[in-house]
Amino acid sequence: MTLVRCRECGREVSDTATECPHCGAKLQSGSQRRDSEPMPESYLIWGIVTTVCCCLPFGIVSIVYASKVEDYWRQGLQDMAYEAAAKAKKFAIIGAVAAPLVGIILFIVASMIIGDMGIIQEILEEIND
Residues that bind Zn ion in the complex, under the rule CB under 5 A: 6, 8-9, 20, 22-23, 25
| Alpha carbon distance 11, 3 (integer Å) | 9
Identity (one letter) of the amino acid at 77?
Answer: L
Nearer Cβ to Zn ion (4/99): 4
Displacement of CA 75 from its chain's centroid (Å): 18
For the bound state, the minimum distance from the C-beta of residue 74 to Zn ion, rounded and expressed in Å, comes to 22
Task: Give min distance, CB of 65 to Zn ion, in A.
Answer: 34
* C-alpha to C-alpha distance for 50 and 57, rounded to whole angstroms: 9
What are 104's strand-pairing partners?
Answer: none
Give the residue with the Cβ less far from Zn ion, 30 or 115: 30
Residue (9 or 112) nearer to Zn ion, CB:
9
